[in-house]
Structures are given as structure tokens and as C-alpha cells.
Amino acid sequence: MKKLLVLLSYLIIFSSCINSEKLEGHWHLKNEYLGERFLSLDLTKNSDSIAYLDKYSFNDTQRIRHYSKEKELITGECGGYFKYKVNGEKIHLKNVQDYGDYFGIKYELTNSHKLKDYLNNLLVDIVLPKAKNSKKNNYLNFENDNFIKNLIIGKSKETNKTEFQESYKIQTNERFLKLEDVDKWIEHIKNSTSDLELGFIKFRIVSDKNVSLDLIKTINQKLRKKGFEKIYLTYIKEKGMNDLFEYLDLRKIDFKGKRKLEDLVK
């Protein structure tokens, strides 16, 4: 009888483990307002902890609180309060403030999938250049670096907008800049950063591989003119299991005789 009770207890515990709701993993979340775009949600363990929205993104990663016992998510410090329910590979986030629910699917986080996440929420379409095992490139960990400023260059996903006539658009945060406005953007960064922190500022250029080198060179010159030296051009590693990107330090590069972004790392 004692053995039977132990066996029944084991089966109950095992059953509860099978049916437990696990949030850990990588999820794509969509609602009626996102259209084709999605948010990603990442959690590494199923306990009270910090989770991440859009961890693999060139936009700002948002940390959110995860309360496993209450099965709640709170985005940011001031709100975005969700109750969630996980059923296998699907998730439903119920927004208790009626701002719209999210529905998601879990994905295996391969490098190709991570690249899709990086490019998903950009305002422009980009095909990144490949590094081709260049010894000129650097490994840099830009994740959760508060001193990174992104300049993203590609063709607008919203082709019906005509206020910008350039074939390639320059995106900073969630807006486009004309080339003549880049100086003001750099000056704003300089004026809004303390003297102690200025040396930590890094600029990451994320550019379509067919963008003119003259445009990259001009932006590089504008940044240097304002005293910024840490300027990096983004490449995809041709071979690499863990790290997706390599970065070319533009301080080391001579643009003469080069025609394409991939020529810079040959």
C-alpha cells in the first residue's frame, strides 16, 4: 500500500510538471495593431525574473518584470500589465487595461531567425554585407549597451511616403533623417551627454550592402568632425555559430579605390 501511495504521488507530480505553464524561450507576439510586424519576448527561466521585449533588435530592448506565480508580465516601470497563459507552443497575453491582447508562437532561436528579429521592426529594408572572414573586423558585444547610437540605412518599407526623395533613407530611432539633418542629430547627442560619458558613445552604422560608399564616408566624416571616434560598420559573419555580427572600425579604413561595402573588408 505504501509503495502504491508513493507511485501515485510520483504520477501526480509528474503530471503537474507536464501540464505546467512554461514561459521560457523565444516568442513572437502579434496583435491587431502590429500588422506584419511583431514583438519578441525572451525569458531564460521559469521563475520571477527579468524578461525582455525585442532583445534581438536594433531598437531599444525593453526589460519587463515576470511574476511566475501570478503568471503576470509588467512592461516597463509604469504599466503594460498582462496576464498570460501558455498552451504548448502558443501563448496568450491578456492586457488587463484593454489596450489589446497579444498572441504568440514559440520559435527556436537560430542565427537566421535572430537576424529576422533584428531586421523586423526597422523602418527600412536591409540586406547586410558579409564579412567573409576578414581579419579587419572586430567582435563587439553591443547588447544592452546604453551608449550605442544606431544609424540605419536602407530603402523605406513604406514606399507610398514621398516626403523623402533619396533612394536610401537614414533611420535613427523611429524616424527618418535627411543627410543635411545628421549634423543636428549628432549635435543633440553631444549636448545631451555628460562630459564623463562622451568617451563611451559608440555609433553603429547598419547599412544595406548596396548603399553608396560616399554616403558612409560622409556620415563618418560628420561624426569625426564632432569629435566622435568610435564608429562601426555592421557585417554579417559568413561563418559563425554563436555571434551573428562583426563590426568594422572605420578609424582603420582607407576608402580610396573601394566601390562596395564588402570591398572594405577584403
Class of domain 21-107: mainly beta
What pLDDT shows up at residue 128? 94
Angle at CA of residue 230, ends 259 and 248, nearest 5°:
40
Q: Amino acid identity of 245?
A: F
Tens place of pLDDT per residue across the chain (266 aa): 544 444 434 333 333 344 446 888 999 999 878 777 899 999 887 777 888 889 888 877 788 889 888 899 988 665 688 999 999 899 999 988 877 899 999 999 888 888 989 998 899 999 999 887 666 677 677 766 778 899 999 999 876 555 555 589 999 988 899 999 999 999 999 999 999 999 999 999 999 999 999 999 999 999 999 999 999 999 998 765 567 888 999 988 888 888 889 888 87
Phi, psi (rounded to 5 degrees) for 203: -110, 125
Domain boundaries, the chain: 21-107, 122-265
Nearest residue to 92 (alpha-carbon basis) of 29, 41, 178: 29
pTM for the structure as a whole: 0.80
Tens digit of each residue's pLDDT (9 = 90 or more) over 33-71: 877 789 999 988 777 788 888 988 887 778 888 988 889
pLDDT digits (tens, 9 = 90+) for 228-250: 999 999 999 876 556 788 899 99
